[in-house]
Amino acid sequence: MNMTSDVTLDVRDLRITGRPSEADIVRDVSLQVRPGEILGVVGESGSGKTTLALSLLNYCKSGTYISGGSILVAGQDIVAARKRGLQQLRGHVVSYIPQSPAASLNPALSLQTQLLECLPHDVSPAAGAQRIRDVMREVALPDDDAFRQRYPHQLSGGQQQRIAIAMAFIPRPRLIVMDEPTTGLDVTTQATVLQTVRELCRSYQCAGVYISHDMATVADLADAIAVMYSGQVVEFGPLRDVLTRPRHPYTRMLLQAVPDLRARRPMLGIEGHAPSPLSRPAGCAFAPRCPIATEACHREAPPLVPTGERGFVRCLHPLVALPPRAAGAAPVVSQGNDVLLDLRRIQGRYGKKVILQDVNLQLRAGECLALLGESGSGKTTLSRIVAGLHHQFDGELLYRGAPLAHSSFDRSAQQRSRIQYIFQDPYESLNPRRTVRELLLQPLQALRIDVADTEALVAENLERAALRGDMAGRYPDQLSGGERQRVAVARALMTNPEILVCDEITSALDVSVQSALVELLRRLQSESGLSLLFITHNIALVRNVAQRVAVLQRGRIVELSTVEAAFSEKAHPYTKSLVENTPNLVEALEA
């Protein structure tokens, strides 16, 4: 690709290597982003997306380093910058919006203090104060002094994310790097955040790099797209060109794995796993999973083939059609009449503040019941009540007709083993000092469950969660975000639960693994009668996994119906608004 004067970000032959193996984590990456343009970077977990994103700030994870190539931002070499020069470039020339604002905002400092820290040194106090007020309005937050004196814990998740966006745009950077900034947001808040990012990038002619596994969101936001696999960009080009005429078989298979909001086609996952950087195959890294691979693909590294003015693809057979793939027969989920969980007149509180009001709900054997609603509607509070993690509530909670204690500490070991909880954020729920094997064995140790062959059980549940067996010896910081979440899923399955409470468990997963996980959950429902309480913001996914839907608005259930009814014209107006705000890949491409 030729460098032009209107390019903000120019990455050439970037290579990032790990120690002590000296294996390449990211290799031969070249791409460009223009002013006001947003580049979407997609791919499965472990493909190198976040590693690439951090390198754009000349930051590498522990044990990795930039071993080759160049990164130019507004003509300035990020890789060659010394420590003091790099500090000046970060924030002022290139800014970063993290995946978890709750973890990145300082809980001990007010919003005002943290916003002031982002101002360039050459901006006067009066001009800085005005700039902060302007950006606060641009991200749809109050610009008054009282709001800015709040602390992060006093904000909702959506407000925290918009504060993170404001902090990134205050210095007026030339490039902004966004690492899955809408992963944990509900669809309404996500739509607002995406619109804010789009408008700010265009208003300030700031280039953007948006890391995501959500193809529908990328289609709704980005102007260009880079598809990564095994540390390489295998396809790059204008968004519409790549998504409507994908050349690489991996891109085409990723699109087939995206859940369809209108249920016009099934989700088709990609079989197998991406190779480890330590054991990449000869030739094309995707060849072992590719349905059109030939002997040459296993032997020769694919060349970079130009596609259009800016695009390229790394494939020996970019025009060969994929063989038709039929969706596996959906397992028959037999919903019994047995009521496992019975929630009666639940009033959930935090101190004196009432969060849930008069909630009546039943979960039947073998059923998947989805909980939908915006942030703050009470979904997580209700799920934590079921798991015994939130005991400030009134009303009755019954399990198989017997009262359940409010606190999990007061429940029997059998009850705790039969109701397992998977947390939304694997960064906070996994002990960083324990290996994956130790993390999976924790529930057995805590509940004093004896197993004859623990290694076989660990291997079995890693496989069920679409993880390689060699990951058992790794620590959480050696895994991607999606891999950590799959470890959390595998851990919950260790006790052979009867009820699985899933709190946004797919928010950190790429579409391929998400598809595999949905298939796993449906199979578990069919084979072992597993019941699911499935909290999610991904409404398109609901049509593929749930039988019934409960919609929460401000702590009350406004709709309790079958999935078909919830997506029909007879649905509650609030349910319709959630569906309308959900990114839809097909509609985004047709717009």
* Residue with tokens 């959500």, as numbered in its chain: 214
State pLDDT tens for residues 521-539. Answer: 887 788 778 899 999 877 8
Assessment of whether the complete model's pTM goes beyond 0.85: no
pLDDT at 338: 86
Stretch 82-89: mean pLDDT, rounded? 82
Is the pLDDT confidence value at 585 over 70?
A: yes
Is the pLDDT confidence value at 182 over 80?
A: no
State pLDDT tens for residues 259-300. Answer: 877 767 777 878 877 888 988 999 999 999 999 999 999 999
pLDDT range class, residue 224, cuts 50, 70, 90: very high
3-state secondary structure of 559: strand
pLDDT at 206: 94
Is the pLDDT confidence value at 479 over 80?
A: yes
**Percent of the chain at pLDDT exceeding 90:** 55
Q: Is 546 left (phi over 0), alpha (psi -120 to 50) or beta?
A: beta
Q: Tell me which of 514 and 71 has the higher pLDDT.
A: 71
- At a CB cut-off of 8 Å and minimum separation 6, what does 525 contact? 331, 333, 366, 367, 368, 531, 532
Stretch 166-187: mean pLDDT, rounded? 86
CA 76 to chain CA centroid, nearest Å: 31
Is the pLDDT confidence value at 4 over 80?
A: no
pLDDT at 327: 60
Q: How far apart are the first and last CA of the chain?
A: 29
- In this structure, the chain runs to a length of 591
State pLDDT tens for residues 22-80. Answer: 999 999 999 999 999 999 999 988 889 989 999 999 999 888 999 999 999 999 999 98
Whether omega for the bond prior to residue 20 falls within 30 degrees of 0, making it cis, is: yes
3-state secondary structure of 491: helix
Angle at 199 between CA 194 and CA 202, to 5 degrees: 125
Is the pLDDT confidence value at 359 over 50?
A: yes
pLDDT range class, residue 2, cuts 50, 70, 90: very low
Residue 100 tokens read as 């978890």
Q: Tell me which of 2 and 67 has the higher pLDDT.
A: 67
Phi, psi of 39 (to 5 degrees): -100, 125
State pLDDT tens for residues 310-355. Answer: 899 999 999 899 988 766 545 455 566 789 999 999 999 988 889 9
